[in-house]
Structure 1
């Protein structure tokens, strides 16, 4: 019997599963915010996340780190770009959750690892291994199948995949200099004026705000949007520090799988044969991609061991 993984590794898996599990059931939380619309929900998500991050920074006495980042012009510019990417992701995702497109949203997060590889090639000029080319090709065929067979262009899925892929790319460029709480604080600070503007528009020409009009529980859930945004991010950051990148990549599919099941079995969204075929092709592409990641990780480890 193989030895049990160390406690730190087991804890890391729990953190990662907790993060992706919470992200997976997020559509159900947003549905509790009805009748509030997507623009109002995202505005509250931004402002309450900023407030919650500020509270956390005060508790852990980490405002000094944020102050140092504020004086770094390059970091602030990158955080502004990250804020734009995550805003698009949040707005499209909430629109999908409230508009009956949870299954298509799950497709976006299934293909996100493939988009990440594509962005690495296009932006960072990374070398692509044959298996990665195969995964990209299969994913492209999957999108064609969905477009032709299902009769609709999956713009929600692609918008989510590319916006989150761009967000991850920017975070990769920033590196470990920006921690999870500090990064989200800066991103939501950049977006706060936009969020306030959305609330003004909704209150004036959008029929009025729903916050405070549907009982105390609904108002509490709107305020809680900051917590449900920040807590999974912190769990993810804690897990990423404790388990290998390949293992983290495997657990990330918990979120889109949960979203797919919620959309199909709970919300009864349409899942015709053409969409199943498209999803199946995406899963084949992911299997190829994950197998290549595992092989590359083992090869790197073997080279490192031989060099000792």
Structure 2
């Protein structure tokens, strides 16, 4: 087996593992249901900052932060992206522990299509006819859910928009995934630590004290930092070795697992009216993904010829 083939296969396995881990995260947050969502988020920020910074220090040396911030516009744009990802984490964790796993999965199903719309609006990208059709079908699905529920699916929209805007900023600032997460974590570390210490001092926290949540929960909160960093590091490893078209299709592993967990494990309602809305969105994704795969194969054939 050639080195390139081995690298590609390793990238596929790592990408799959990353998306599976993201997809199974509702089970992990469910184990922390006794902890307020804000406390989970600030612990996640603090411990991921410690772990990601340690990784970058080992991998890139002491100058990693200065080198990343030296990129044009990186300082303020990564601050903004840090706020967006913190909001996304907070909304997602709250939604999971409030019994909205299915709607959360919807947010990540429609996220690729939101990315397309943001690309048109901010990057002056052009869509072909098939891509416009997929966006229109997904819009019909969201409109159907809005009509059936009596209000828009705000959780799904909030997750999709916050993660889509996060991705847009990260595309514009052009730093690698792990270094960018490291800078975002550094920005968020002190505010999160203040909130954490304030909560411990005023009785809303329960980390370490004997009357707190217990050592098992404390350990889960610390490990949450690693579970934040590991999939993203794995994703960064994979995209350098696997075609983006393949990674783009594999990203649907995560919301699919989230959806299945919501229905089969958490027992959330999924009646016929909600199913119709989801079917519209799944059709839109199938059209969008098929078009992307066809174009990638066509480019590969042209390049080979």
Q: TM-score, normalised by structure 1?
A: 0.92
Deviations 1:152-211 (A, max 9, x none): 421110111111111111121122xx2332211100111123313433554466x52032
- Counterpart Cα distance in 1 of 2:304 and 2:81: 37
Aligned twin of 1:12: 11
Q: Does 1:164 align with 2:163?
A: yes
Q: Match of 2:75, SS?
A: helix
Deviations 1:218-244 (A, max 9, x none): 111111111000000011111111111
Residues 36, 211 of structure 1: 8 Å contact kept = no
* RMSD of Structure 2 on Structure 1 (CA): 1.8
Deviations 1:59-113 (A, max 9, x none): 3243323222234461112211211221111111111111111111100000011
User: For residues 54 and 292 of structure 1, do their structure 2 counterparts lie closer, same or farther at Cα, with a shift above 3 Å needed?
Assistant: same
Residues 54, 185 of structure 1: 8 Å contact kept = yes
Number of residue pairs matched by the alignment: 300
Shifted more, 148-157 versus 235-244: the winner is 148-157
Residues 39, 202 of structure 1: 8 Å contact kept = no
Residues 109, 252 of structure 2: 8 Å contact kept = yes
Q: Does 1:186 align with 2:183?
A: yes
Q: Match of 1:166, SS?
A: helix
Residues 35, 210 of structure 1: 8 Å contact kept = no
Deviations 1:258-284 (A, max 9, x none): 100111111111111111111111000
- Counterpart Cα distance in 2 of 1:298 and 1:73: 34
Residues 21, 231 of structure 2: 8 Å contact kept = yes
Q: Does 1:209 align with 2:205?
A: yes
Aligned twin of 2:82: 83
- Counterpart Cα distance in 2 of 1:150 and 1:221: 35
- Counterpart Cα distance in 2 of 1:154 and 1:202: 31
For structure 1, the residue ranges without an aligned partner over 5 or more in a row are none
Residues 68, 180 of structure 2: 8 Å contact kept = no
Aligned twin of 2:196: 199
- Counterpart Cα distance in 2 of 1:305 and 1:93: 43
- Counterpart Cα distance in 2 of 1:154 and 1:63: 44
Aligned twin of 2:101: 102
Q: Match of 1:34, SS?
A: coil
Residues 206, 213 of structure 2: 8 Å contact kept = yes
Q: Match of 1:239, SS?
A: helix
Q: Match of 1:6, SS?
A: helix
- Counterpart Cα distance in 1 of 2:194 and 2:104: 26
Residues 38, 94 of structure 1: 8 Å contact kept = yes
For structure 2, the residue ranges without an aligned partner over 5 or more in a row are none
Q: Does 1:293 align with 2:289?
A: no
- Counterpart Cα distance in 2 of 1:282 and 1:62: 45
Residues 80, 190 of structure 1: 8 Å contact kept = yes
Q: Match of 2:52, SS?
A: helix
User: For residues 197 and 155 of structure 1, do their structure 2 counterparts lie closer, same or farther at Cα, with a shift above 3 Å needed?
Assistant: farther
- Counterpart Cα distance in 2 of 1:151 and 1:203: 40
- Counterpart Cα distance in 2 of 1:7 and 1:76: 37
Which contiguous aligned blocks of 4+ residues in structure 1 show a shift greater than 4 angstroms? Answer: none
